[in-house]
Amino acid sequence: MSTDDLAGWLAALGGHDRDAADVSVEGRALRAQLRAQAEGAPPAVADVDSAREAQLIARARAAGILPARMPARWRSPRSALMAATLAGIAIGVATLQYTRVPPETFRGTANGVVELEARRPNDLKERLIQELHDAGVHVTGYERLDRVGLDADLPLPVTPAVRRVLDRHHIPVPNDGALVVEIRAPEVR
């Protein structure tokens, strides 16, 4: 197609050149179809044609795109059982990942002290101290009776970096900037 032919086709598609050569007939036909659809006419969609599908599958097999037949090993009941077992395992693993107990649990705030519960309180305390320190906060850790904890003076207003740390551990932002967190091990039941 030459540049002039392409220009005529595009002009006909755009509705600008009504006297273009025969090449623009396609452009005018396409424009008419697009306008008909834009005006609410339902698009022409062919019904499902199972005979046509069978022909296409046969052609694909003849061309070597699809295998001639499904391998026998995939048609046996044993293969179906193995596939079902693998699917069950995959679903089970995915479910366990979403339902496992979180490493820490927010238990509430009492008298301005945020209470957390974790299987390894000292590890969580050290991680919180490091994350808050990395966010630019001066933090002091302590141990008291069966709890470990930390004190921190947060900048006001709280910076986005500090807010991300607090949100990650489900710790509410204190109104006065004085953060006190105590962490204890879960009670054995």
More confident residue, 82 or 188: 82
**pLDDT above 60 (res 14):** yes
- Is-contact 18 27, C-beta < 8 A? no
pLDDT at 65: 81
Q: Using 50, 70 and 90 to split pLDDT, how confident is the model at 147?
A: confident
The least confident of 21-25, 51-55, 74-78 is 21-25
pLDDT at 81: 82
pLDDT at 76: 73
pLDDT at 95: 77
Per cent of the chain over pLDDT 90 is: 10
**pLDDT above 70 (res 71):** no
> Cα dihedral sign for 83, 86, 91, 92?
positive
Sheet containing 178-184, strands listed edge to edge, beginning at the edge strand earlier in sequence? 104-110, 113-118, 178-184, 147-153, 139-144
Which residues pair with residue 143 across a beta bridge? Answer: 148
pLDDT at 64: 80
More confident residue, 178 or 108: 178
pLDDT at 92: 82
pLDDT at 133: 92
**Angle in degrees, CA 164, 168, 173, rounded to 5:** 65
> Cα dihedral sign for 57, 59, 65, 70?
positive
- In 3D space, the residue among 102, 155, 159, 151 whose CA is nearest the CA of residue 128 turns out to be 151
**pLDDT above 70 (res 43):** no
Domain locations along the chain: 1-68, 104-184
Q: Mean of the pLDDT values across residues 124-146?
A: 88
Q: Which residues of 29-68 are buried (b: 16+ CB within 10 A; e: fewer)?
A: eeeeeeeeeeeeeeeeeeeeeeeeeeeeeeeeeeeeeeee
Q: Mean of the pLDDT values across residues 53-64?
A: 85
The least confident of 16-30, 51-65, 78-92 is 16-30
Tens of pLDDT, residue by residue over 93-117, are 877 766 555 555 656 566 778 888 8
pLDDT at 9: 63
**pLDDT above 60 (res 21):** no
What is the average pLDDT value for the chain, to the nearest integer? Answer: 77
